[in-house]
Chains A and B, each alone.
Chain A
Amino acid sequence: MSPLMIAGHEFQSRLFTGTGKYASADAMMASISASGSELVTLSLRRMDLKHQSDNILQPLQQHGIKLLPNTSGARTAKEAIFAAQLAREALQTNWVKLEIHPDPRYLMPDAIETLAAAEALVKQGFVVMPYVHADPVLCKRLEEVGCQCVMPLGSPIGSNMGLASKPFLEIIIEQSQVPVIIDAGIGAPSDAALALEMGADAVLVNTAMAVAQNPAQMSLAFKMAVESGRLAYESGLGEKRQQAVASSPFTDFIGSLS
Chain B
Amino acid sequence: MNNEITLYVNDHPLSLVGTTLADLLEQLDKPTQGIAVAIDHEVVPKSRWATTLLADNMNVFIFESIAGG
Q: For chain A residues 71-108, which have a beta carbon within 8 Å of chain B?
A: 72, 82, 85-91
Given A18-B68, A82-B41, A207-B69: A47 touches B63 (CB 8 Å cut-off): yes
Tell me the bound Cα distance from A46 to B62 in angstroms: 6
Q: For chain B residues 15-46, which have a beta carbon within 8 Å of chain A?
A: 28, 30-31, 33-38, 41, 43, 45-46
Instruction: Find out whether the CB atom of A20 lies under 8 angstroms from the CB atom of B68.
Output: yes
Min CB–CB distance A209 → chain B (angstroms): 10
Instruction: Find out whether the CB atom of B68 lies under 8 angstroms from the CB atom of A90.
Output: no
Instruction: Find out whether the CB atom of A46 lies under 8 angstroms from the CB atom of B63.
Output: yes
Instruction: Find out whether the CB atom of B33 lies under 8 angstroms from the CB atom of A89.
Output: no
Instruction: Find out whether the CB atom of A57 lies under 8 angstroms from the CB atom of B68.
Output: no
Convert B3-17 into 0s and 1s, putting 1 for each residue whose CB lies closer than 8 angstroms to a CB of A. 000000110100000
Complex partner residue of A19 from B36, B45, B61, B69, CB under 8 angstroms? B69
Number of interface residues of A (CB under 8 A): 38
Min CB–CB distance B52 → chain A (angstroms): 13
Instruction: Find out whether the CB atom of B67 lies under 8 angstroms from the CB atom of A42.
Output: yes
Instruction: Find out whether the CB atom of B67 lies under 8 angstroms from the CB atom of A19.
Output: yes
Interface range on chain B (Cβ under 8 Å from partner): 20 to 34
Chain B residues with CB under 8 Å of A67's CB are 65
Query: A residues touching B (Cβ–Cβ < 8 Å)?
Result: 18-22, 28, 41-47, 49, 52-58, 67, 69-70, 72, 82, 85-91, 157-158, 204, 206-207
Instruction: Find out whether the CB atom of B64 lies under 8 angstroms from the CB atom of A44.
Output: yes
B1 CB within 8 Å of chain A: no
Given A18-B68, A44-B66, A91-B34: A49 touches B9 (CB 8 Å cut-off): yes
Tell me the bound Cα distance from A22 to B37 in angstroms: 27
In the complex, besides A43-B65, A45-B63, A90-B36, 8 extra interface pairs with C-beta distance below 8 angstroms are A18-B69, A28-B67, A42-B65, A45-B64, A47-B35, A55-B31, A87-B36, A87-B65
Convert B50-67 into 0s and 1s, putting 1 for each residue whose CB lies closer than 8 angstroms to a CB of A. 000000000001111111
10 smallest beta-carbon distances between A and B, as pairs: A43-B68, A18-B69, A206-B69, A89-B36, A90-B36, A19-B67, A86-B36, A20-B69, A47-B62, A47-B64
Given A49-B10, A57-B33, A57-B34: A89 touches B66 (CB 8 Å cut-off): no
Tell me the bound Cα distance from A105 to B63 in angstroms: 25
Instruction: Find out whether the CB atom of A20 lies under 8 angstroms from the CB atom of B65.
Output: no
Tell me the bound Cα distance from A118 to B66 in angstroms: 23
Instruction: Find out whether the CB atom of B68 lies under 8 angstroms from the CB atom of A89.
Output: no
Instruction: Find out whether the CB atom of A49 lies under 8 angstroms from the CB atom of B67.
Output: no
